[in-house]
C-alpha cells in the first residue's frame, strides 16, 4: 500500500491476491513490462522449440549490436548455474534469484541454467527462477525449459554463449569440484575456486587433517565410512579424548555436505553410531565425521574477498559475524544446541547475529588472520566463507601440551576453524551481504566486484572485462549527466514493515524485497523502516494490542535479518556506545585494507553505501517527519512477498504509484 502524507488521501489500492489471479494468463509479459531490472531474458526464453540457440550475442544495446570482445561498449555475458543433486538445491535457487536480481543490467546480460537431481542440465528463463519451491521448479522444467542431452553439450554451449559462469550450486557438484572440473575441461572461465582446490577443501575430514598439519588447532574427530563402522574403535576414540562412551556429547555430520544438512547431536558411542547409520541410509553421504561437542563455545563465520591482481591472491577478511544461539521454549535438547538448517535459513527467534562479534579485539584479529591464511593455503579464489568456534574456556581435549604452540591460542581463549564454504549462500539476508554491507558494499556492488575480480584472473577475459568496465562507466556518466541537466530532485520514499501481528515476518521479507528493488532507481531516495512495539517483542507474549508503537529508520545492514525481533534487537545494539566504538574502529580498518588493494584495480567503482546508525521515533513523530519530507510511504503487507512475476508486477505498480504521488501531490 502507498500513502502520500503530503495530503490526507489514499492512492489507488494495489490489487489483492484474489483479484491478482485474473492476470495469470500473461504474467511474464506484465513482469517484464513493469520490472525494469529484469529487462533481459535468457537464451531459453527466445530459443526455437526443441532446440537451443545463442541469443545473448545477438542482443542490441543502445540500438547497436554488441561489439567484439575488445571493442568499447560490449556488455558482459554471465551464465548463472544453479540447482544440483543435493538437498541444498533449494538454497541454491534462493542464491540464484538474489544474484540475478543484483547483477543484471544493460551492461551485464545474464543467462540462467539449472541442473536437476538427475544431473540433467537445462537452459531456463529468469522468470522460472522464481518458482516457490524446488518441487514447483522441477514440475515446470519439462514444459518451459530447454534440456541439453549431456553435461558435455551443456559445457560446449556455455563456451560459445557466455563470457564467464557464476556457479551457485551448494554442496555436491557445486563445492566438491564437480561443476568446476566440467567448466575447466571446456575452457570456460568461472567465478570461484578451481576444481582440485575445491575437492581438497570441501571434505571436512581431509580439511581437518590439513589444518592440523599446518599448525592450526582442530576439533578432535573420528571418521566413519559406510559399511566400515567399528563400534569398538569408536568407543576407544571416546576414551582417548576423555569422553564418556555412554553419554559423551558429540556432533555427527556428513563430511561432504553443507547448510547443516544431516548435522545432529548425539550422546555416547552407540547413539553416535546410530546417527551415522542414519546419514548413510538417507544417502546424504557415505562418509561421516564425529566431532567433540564444543560446550560453551561461540560460533562465528567470516567472509573472505580476494582483491589481488590477476592470479596473485590477496584475501581480505570482512567483519566476522558471531552466531548467538538462544534458548528455545521447547525441551528439545538437540534443537537447542546446534545452528541447524532451520536456524540458518528460516525465521526463528532462537538465533541472533552480531557483526562484528562480541569477542575481545585480539580474538577478532586472530580470526581474521587465520581465515586469511587458510584462504591462501587452500588456494581459494574470488570469495569464500569459513566457519569456526571461539572457546573462552578451552575444552579438556584441547589442553594437551602438544597444542600449546598451535595457531588459535589467545590470551582470552581458543579459536578453531571447522568448515570451509567454497560457494557461500547468497540469499538476500545471507552472511555475505550482512558482512559486505558493514564495509560499504551494497548487494549489487559486492557481487559485481566478485565477478569483475574473477574476470581479471583469466587472460582471455581481459578484453571483455575492459569493454564491460568501459560500458558501465559510460552508462554511469550518462546517468549522472542527465541528473545534473534535469536538476532532478529525488523523491523521498519510506518502506515500512514489521508490526506486531503474526504476519510480521512475512512483512519483513516483503519490505526487504521492495526496498532492495526500489534501490535501483536513481530518482528515489528510499529509507527502510521497522514498525515495532515500544516495549519490545517477547517470545512468551504475542498479544501486543495494548502496546504503543515505535518506528526505526534503518541503515542498510540492519535490514538484512530473518525476523523483526532480530532487527529490533540489532537496532538497540547498534546505538550502544561501546559497540559503536568497536564497530567503527574495525569497519574503518577493513575498509582501508579494501580501498588500498582495490584502488589498484581499474574496474573498481568504489563503495556505494554507508553504515549509519538507526534512529527511533514514536509513531506520531515518524508520521510528522514523513509529512515534513513530503514523502511517499510504502506499507509492506504479507502478500507482497509472493515470488516471481507477481512480485515484479508489485514493484512496477509501486513505481507507477510513486510517480502519481509526485505528480499529483507536490
In this predicted model, what pLDDT tens digit does every residue of 402-458 receive, in sequence order?
676 899 999 999 999 999 999 999 999 999 999 999 999 999 999 999 999 999 999
Q: According to the model, what pLDDT value does residue 232 have?
A: 93
Cell numbers at 506, concatenated? 512475512
Q: Please state which of the four CATH numbers 3.40.50.150, 3.40.50.20, 3.60.10.10, 2.40.50.140 is assigned to the domain occupying 36-192.
A: 3.40.50.20
Cell numbers at 26, concatenated? 500473461
Handedness of CA 621, 625, 627, 631 (dihedral sign): negative
For residues 164-183, average pLDDT: 97
| ∠ CA 479-484-487, rounded to 5° | 120
As a whole number of angstroms, the distance between CA 166 and CA 189 comes to 9
**Is residue 350 over pLDDT 90?**
no
Max mean pLDDT among 22-26, 136-140, 385-389 falls in: 385-389
Q: CA–CA distance from 211 to each of 23, 315, 358, 473 (Å)?
A: 56, 18, 25, 43
As a whole number of angstroms, the distance between CA 8 and CA 473 comes to 42
**Is residue 608 over pLDDT 80?**
yes
**Is residue 302 over pLDDT 50?**
yes
Q: According to the model, what pLDDT value does residue 485 have?
A: 64
Q: According to the model, what pLDDT value does residue 122 have?
A: 95
Q: How buried is residue 228: exposed, middle or buried, by Cβ count under 10 Å (0-12/13-18/19+)?
A: exposed
Q: According to the model, what pLDDT value does residue 280 have?
A: 95
For residues 655-663, average pLDDT: 54
Q: Which stretches of 415-461 are DSSP H helices?
A: 431-438, 443-456
Whether 626 and 494 have beta carbons less than 8 Å apart is answered as yes
For residues 195-213, average pLDDT: 96
Q: According to the model, what pLDDT value does residue 343 have?
A: 44
**Is residue 172 over pLDDT 70?**
yes
Max mean pLDDT among 12-16, 172-176, 483-487 falls in: 172-176
User: Comparing 236-245, 468-477, 634-643, 652-661, which segment has the lowest mean pLDDT?
Assistant: 652-661
List b or e across 432-458, with b for residues whose CB sees 16 or more CB atoms inside 10 angstroms: bbbbbbbbbbbbbbbbbbbbbbbbbbb
Q: According to the model, what pLDDT value does residue 638 have?
A: 52
Q: According to the model, what pLDDT value does residue 64 have?
A: 33
Whether 662 and 3 have beta carbons less than 8 Å apart is answered as no
As a whole number of angstroms, the distance between CA 160 and CA 69 comes to 13
Whether 652 and 35 have beta carbons less than 8 Å apart is answered as yes
Q: According to the model, what pLDDT value does residue 24 have?
A: 34
Residues sharing a CB contact under 8 Å with residue 101, sequence separation 6 or more, in sequence order? 37, 443, 516, 517
What are 502-508's contacts with CB under 8 Å, separation 24+?
502/542, 503/637, 503/638, 504/564, 505/347, 505/562, 505/563, 505/564, 506/638, 506/641, 507/564, 507/636, 507/637, 507/638, 508/561, 508/563, 508/564, 508/567, 508/636
Which is higher by pLDDT, 279 or 602?
A: 279
Whether 386 and 211 have beta carbons less than 8 Å apart is answered as no
Report, in angstroms and rounded to the nearest whole number, the Rg of the chain calculated over CA atoms. 25
As a whole number of angstroms, the distance between CA 498 and CA 638 comes to 10
What is the per-residue pLDDT across 484-533, written as a single tens digit (0 to 9) for each?
A: 666 567 899 999 999 988 899 999 999 999 999 998 888 899 999 999 99
Per-residue pLDDT band for 617 (boundaries 50, 70, 90) equals very high
Average pLDDT, the chain: 82
As a whole number of angstroms, the distance between CA 346 and CA 340 comes to 10
Q: According to the model, what pLDDT value does residue 35 have?
A: 39
Per-residue pLDDT band for 385 (boundaries 50, 70, 90) equals very high
Whether 560 and 437 have beta carbons less than 8 Å apart is answered as yes
Q: According to the model, what pLDDT value does residue 469 have?
A: 83
Dmax over CA atoms of the chain, in Å, equals 79
Q: What is the CATH number of domain 220-293?
A: 3.30.1490.20
- Residue ranges of the domains in the chain? 2-19+489-575+613-665, 36-192, 220-293
Query: What number of residues does the chain have?
Result: 666
For residues 319-347, average pLDDT: 59
Residue 190's DSSP bridge partners are 165
**Is residue 183 over pLDDT 50?**
yes
Q: According to the model, what pLDDT value does residue 658 have?
A: 58
Q: According to the model, what pLDDT value does residue 130 have?
A: 83
Whether 423 and 170 have beta carbons less than 8 Å apart is answered as yes
**Is residue 571 over pLDDT 90?**
yes
What is the per-residue pLDDT across 60-118, written as a single tens digit (0 to 9) for each?
A: 333 333 334 444 568 999 999 999 998 888 899 999 999 999 999 989 999 999 999 99
For residues 457-486, average pLDDT: 81
- For helices 577-598 and 564-574, the axis angle rounded to 10 degrees is 90
Q: According to the model, what pLDDT value does residue 474 have?
A: 83
> What's the predicted TM-score (pTM) here?
0.84
Q: Can you say whether residue 630 is alpha, beta or left, with left for phi > 0 and alpha for psi between -120 and 50 degrees?
A: left
Whether 284 and 261 have beta carbons less than 8 Å apart is answered as yes
Amino acid at each position: 500500500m502507498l500513502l502520500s502524507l503530503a495530503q490526507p488521501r489514499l492512492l489507488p489500492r494495489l490489487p489483492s491476491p484474489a483479484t491478482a489471479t485474473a492476470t495469470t494468463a500473461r504474467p511474464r509479459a506484465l513482469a517484464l513490462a513493469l520490472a525494469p531490472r529484469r529487462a533481459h531474458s535468457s537464451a531459453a526464453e527466445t530459443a526455437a522449440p526443441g532446440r537451443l540457440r545463442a541469443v545473448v550475442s545477438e542482443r542490441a544495446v543502445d540500438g547497436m549490436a554488441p561489439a567484439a570482445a575488445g571493442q568499447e561498449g560490449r556488455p558482459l555475458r554471465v551464465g548463472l548455474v544453479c540447482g544440483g543433486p543435493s538437498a541444498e538445491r533449494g538454497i541454491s535457487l534462493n542464491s540464484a534469484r538474489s544474484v540475478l536480481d543484483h547483477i543484471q543490467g544493460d551492461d551485464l546480460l545474464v543467462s540462467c541454467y539449472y541442473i536437476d537431481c538427475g544431473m540433467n542440465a537445462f537452459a531456463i528463463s529468469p522468470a522460472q527462477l522464481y518458482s516457490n519451491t524446488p518441487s514447483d521448479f522441477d514440475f515446470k522444467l519439462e514444459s518451459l525449459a530447454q534440456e541439453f542431452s549431456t553435461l558435455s553439450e551443456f559445457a560446449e554451449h556455455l563456451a560459445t554463449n557466455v563470457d564467464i559462469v557464476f556457479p551457485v550450486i551448494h554442496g555436491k557438484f557445486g563445492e566438491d569440484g564437480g561443476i568446476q572440473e566440467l567448466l575447466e575441461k571446456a575452457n570456460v572461465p568461472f567465478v570461484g575456486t578451481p576444481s582440485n582446490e575445491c575437492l581438497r577443501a570441501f571434505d571436512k575430514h581431509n580439511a581437518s587433517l590439513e589444518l592440523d598439519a599446518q599448525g592450526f588447532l582442530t576439533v578432535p574427530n573420528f571418521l566413519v565410512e559406510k559399511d566400515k563402522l567399528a563400534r569398538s574403535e569408536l568407543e576407544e576414540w571416546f576414551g582417548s579424548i576423555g569422553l564418556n562412551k555412554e553419554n559423551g556429547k558429540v556432533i555427527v555430520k556428513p563430511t561432504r555436505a553443507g547448510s547443516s544438512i544431516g548435522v545432529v547431536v548425539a550422546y555416547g558411542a552407540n547413539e553416535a553410531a546410530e546417527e551415522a547409520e542414519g546419514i548413510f541410509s538417507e544417502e546424504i553421504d557415505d562418509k561421516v565425521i564425529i566431532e567433540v561437542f564444543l560446550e560453551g563455545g561461540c560460533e562465528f563465520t567470516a567472509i573472505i574477498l580476494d582483491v589481488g591482481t590477476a592470479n596473485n591472491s590477496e584475501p581480505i577478511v570482512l567483519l566476522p559475524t558471531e552466531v548467538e544461539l538462544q534458548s528455545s521454549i521447547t525441551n528439545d535438547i538437540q534443537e537447542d544446541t546446534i545452528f541447524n538448517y532451520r536456524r540458518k535459513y528460516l525465521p526463528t527467534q532462537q538465533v541472533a547475529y552480531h557483526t562484528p562479534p562480541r569477542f575481545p579485539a585480539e580474538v577478532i584479529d586472530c580470526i581474521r588472520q587465520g581465515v586469511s591464511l587458510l584462504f591462501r593455503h587452500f588456494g581459494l579464489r574470488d570469495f569464500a566463507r569459513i566457519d569456526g568456534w571461539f572457546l573462552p574456556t578451552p575444552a579438556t581435549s584441547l589442553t594437551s601440551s602438544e597444542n600449546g604452540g598451535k595457531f588459535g591460542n589467545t590470551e582470552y581463549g581458543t579459536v578453531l576453524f571447522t568448515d570451509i564454504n567454497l560457494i557461500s549462500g547468497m540469499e538476500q539476508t545471507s552472511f555475505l551481504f550482512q558482512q559486505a554491507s558493514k564495509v560499504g558494499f551494497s548487494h549489487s556492488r559486492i557481487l559485481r566486484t566478485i565477478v569483475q575480480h574473477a574476470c581479471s584472473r583469466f587472460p582471455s577475459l581481459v578484453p571483455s572485462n575492459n569493454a564491460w568496465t568501459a560500458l558501465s562507466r559510460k552508462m554511469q556518466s550518462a546517468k549522472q549527466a542527465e541528473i545534473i541537466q534535469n536538476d532532478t530532485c529525488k523523491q523521498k520514499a519510506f518502506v515500512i514493515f514489521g508490526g506486531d501481528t503474526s504476519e510480521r515476518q512475512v512483512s519483513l521479507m516483503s519490505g526487504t524485497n521492495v526496498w532492495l528493488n526500489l534501490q535501483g532507481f536513481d530518482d528515489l531516495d528510499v529509507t527502510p523502516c521497522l514498525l515495532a512495539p515500544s516495549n519490545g517483542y517477547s517470545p512468551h507474549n504475542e498479544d501486543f494490542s495494548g502496546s504503543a508503537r515505535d518506528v526505526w529508520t534503518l541503515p542498510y545492514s540492519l535490514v538484512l535479518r530473518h525476523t523483526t525481533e532480530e532487527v529490533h534487537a540489532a537496532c538497540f545494539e547498534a546505538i550502544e556506545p561501546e559497540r559503536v566504538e568497536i564497530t567503527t574502529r574495525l569497519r574503518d580498518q577493513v575498509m582501508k585494507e579494501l580501498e588500498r588493494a582495490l584502488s589498484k584495480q581499474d574496474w573498481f567503482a568504489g563503495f556505494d553505501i554507508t553504515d549509519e546508525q538507526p534512529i527511533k521515533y514514536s509513531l506520531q513523530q515518524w508520521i510528522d517527519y514523513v509529512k515534513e519530507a513530503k514523502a511517499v510511504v510504502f506499507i509492506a503487507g504479507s502478500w507482497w512477498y509472493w515470488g516471481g512475476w507477481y512480485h515484479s508486477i508489485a514493484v512496477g505498480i509501486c513505481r507507477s504509484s510513486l510517480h502519481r504521488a509526485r505528480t499529483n501531490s507536490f
